[in-house]
Amino acid sequence: MLSKKQSLESIKAESSGLSGPLPTELVNEEDHFTEAAKQLLKFHGIYQQHDRDKRGVKDYSFMVRTKLPGGQLTAEQYLVHDRLASQYANDTLRITTRQTFQFHGVLKGELQATLRELNSAFVTSLGACGDIVRNVMACPAPTDDPQRTAVQDFALHLSDALFPRTSAYHQIWVDGEQMVEDKAVEEPLYGKSYLPRKFKIGVAYPGDNCVDVYTNDVGLVAIFDEDDLLTGFNVLVGGGMGITHQNEETITRLGDLVGYVEVDQAVDLVKAIVTIHRDFGDRENRKHARLKYILHDRGVEWFINELRQRLAFPLQAPREMPEFEVEDHMGWNAQGEDLWYLGIPVENGRIADWDGYRLRSGLRKVIERFNLGVRLTPQQSILLTSITTAQRPEVEAILRDHGVKLVEDFSNVRRYSLACPALPTCGLAITEAERVLPSIMTEFEATLSELGIPDEALSVRMTGCPNGCARPYVAEIGFVGRSLNKYTLFLGGKANGTRLARPFLDLVEGDQLVPTLRPLLAYYRDTHQPEESFGDFVTRLDFDALHQYLAAENLLVSGD
């Protein structure tokens, strides 16, 4: 553990631009880094982990996360990721809920080679983790529609504007130079100590909330004029998912709509919000350090006033915008004249080859053969882009030959499910998520079929701890790791990401999650209003009424 003298804030401030002991420890004979170096690694997109299935021994390896604004990759960049997954990692790629890739199982001695080869394909990991602006998300749907293109181009521009200026990353991982203090670059945006905690940004297309824009520290919703020109953005501030169990001072929060900004002023506005977090964020208590707590504690009006003082232009009143809908961009979709893109669901984001299901090999073959572009979605799935009409049959045939399931092979409940990696690698995981959710989805499918509602489109998300990486707190049904094989059951979020779920039952055994929900699903089937979703249903009835119903029918399976 870090001593007070070695607090994370002091480690950042004294790191000479995120270098610290990394150059020295990278070349020593140890298979892991010290605590101080481990904390700095995160800024470089690296987490030190160990296999928690192995009791009594620390079998160290590393997770490397790349930074891919808007989830966009060329064919070459995808294939470099694919090759490195075998060369240095555990033969899998994992799509994150923030449109990036993660490698798992990289050894310390192979970190530099991994990052060097990624950078040779113009892919970085700097800022993919750590107390910094993380990967900027944007709706990934490729199209010749100038509106969507404008949104995606702005997200790339914003990401570049917020990129850290330190030279330590390239000196350590790419050039192989020893970092010296006088080479450290000033960080005009972040300062010597960077941010108090991570900072997340999402850019949404109007009416399409595939990025869960309300859950970000800053959410930008594009606004267009009558000529379809991007004029600016409605600005949402203060969203965030992570909490701590039994700590009422930690909260989930959706972003507040604070105003509208012209497109040519949007970068400066986001920078100003970042500086508010930098200057007012809690640097003593990391559980209270996200931007959402500044708004929660000081109030939205205080925040708007502070923001206005940092702007050289007026923050305007919000513009009208359409209601968000659920869109995951799966299946065949028109991209342009004689061009298509194919959205392929990737269960829990894990691209791998298993018996009879060779997703990784199938993707590699079609991307190589047709030089396809790739987009990663916030739902952990993948879009293959720029497929001609003539190529469509062969693309689909290759995928089918590899046992790849397309969207029509997924039930709705499986299609809209998400899970974080959790055990065995994540050091924060309390219990399982990715490894058990597929079997839970199979149980869900059977239950919905027995109830006569097999096509019900439920959003179900599962995390191994309350940090909420799979955004369970906006799902209709959220399973959040509570203790070994036990979960807090959250209900009542909205599938379009505009309403928070609330805790309904605590300490539900993993094998009782679906049985606990079955009577509520039956009640929903019998009494819901026309076009009413499950999340809307449980919200309308209120949790007290639902608890009374379960108790009266003697249907409360588990929980307190």
User: Strand 477-483's sheet: what is its strand order?
Assistant: 417-419, 460-463, 477-483, 486-491, 502-509
Region 409-431 average pLDDT:
95
Which pLDDT score is estimated for 58? 84
Determine the distance from the C-alpha atom of residue 231 to the mean position of all C-alpha atoms in its chain, rounded to a whole number: 27
| CB 94 within 8 Å of CB 104 | yes
What pLDDT was estimated at residue 20?
A: 95
Two tokens, residue 416: 């809209």
Distance (Å, whole) CA 319 – CA 162: 25
Helices within 328-477 (DSSP H only):
359-370, 392-401, 412-415, 437-450
Bridge partners, 219 (sequence order): 202, 236
Residue 468 CB coordination number (10 Å) = 23
What percentage of the chain carries pLDDT values higher than 90?
90
Tokens of 142: 């490729």
How many angstroms separate the Cα of 257 from the Cα of each of 92, 309, 325, 395, 444?
39, 18, 18, 43, 36
User: Edge-to-edge, what's the strand order for the sheet holding 218-224?
Assistant: 137-138, 201-204, 218-224, 230-237, 256-262
Of 128, 150, 125, which is closest to residue 139 (Cα–Cα)?
150
Question: Tokens 């989930």 map to which residue?
Answer: 252
| Rounded Cα gap, residues 479 and 505, in angstroms | 10
Location of structure tokens 């965030």: 240
pLDDT digits (tens, 9 = 90+) for 85-124: 999 999 999 999 999 999 999 999 999 999 999 999 999 9
Helices (H), 213-290: 266-280
Task: Check whether 432 has a pLDDT greater than 70.
Answer: yes
Distances (CA, A) of 459 to 385, 387, 477, 479: 26, 30, 6, 11
The helix/strand/coil state of 382 is strand
Q: What is the pLDDT averaged over residues 346-351?
A: 97
Predicted confidence at residue 559, as pLDDT, reads 45
Inter-residue contact 277 to 199 (CB < 8 Å): yes
- pLDDT given for residue 550 in this prediction: 85
Query: How far is the C-alpha of 95 from the C-alpha of 378, rounded, in Å?
Result: 9
Q: How many CB atoms lie within 10 A of CB 312?
A: 7
| pLDDT for res 551 | 84
**Residue 57: pLDDT band by 50, 70, 90 thresholds?**
confident
Q: Which residue has the tokens 């970000």?
A: 216
Residue 250 neighbours by CB distance under 10 Å: 18
Q: 309 by DSSP, 3-state: which?
A: helix
Could you give all domains of the chain from N- to C-terminal order, each with its CATH number? 8-309 (3.30.413.10), 331-410 (3.90.480.10), 413-552 (3.30.413.10)
For residue 262, the tally of other CB atoms under 10 A from its CB is 15
Q: What percent of the chain has pLDDT over 70?
A: 96
For the record, the structure tokens of 174 come out as: 């790419």
What is the residue whose two structure tokens read 């107390």?
Answer: 131
How would you classify the pairing of strands 460-463 and 477-483? parallel
Residue 156, judged by CB atoms within 10 A of its CB (0-12, 13-18, 19+), counts as middle
Q: How sure is the predictor about 51, in pLDDT bands with cuts at 50, 70 and 90? A: confident
Distance CA 138, CA 295 (A): 24
Closest to 413 measured CA to CA, from 450, 454, 383: 454
User: Each residue of 183-198: pLDDT tens digit?
Assistant: 556 899 999 999 999 9
Contact 403, 369 (CB under 8 A): no
pTM score, whole prediction: 0.95
Average pLDDT, the chain: 94
Reported residue count of the chain is 560
Encoding tokens for residue 223? 């606004």
Taking only the tens place, the pLDDT of each residue in 376-414 is 999 999 999 999 999 999 999 999 999 999 999 999 999
Confidence of residue 56 (pLDDT cuts 50, 70, 90): confident
pLDDT over 80 (residue 318): yes
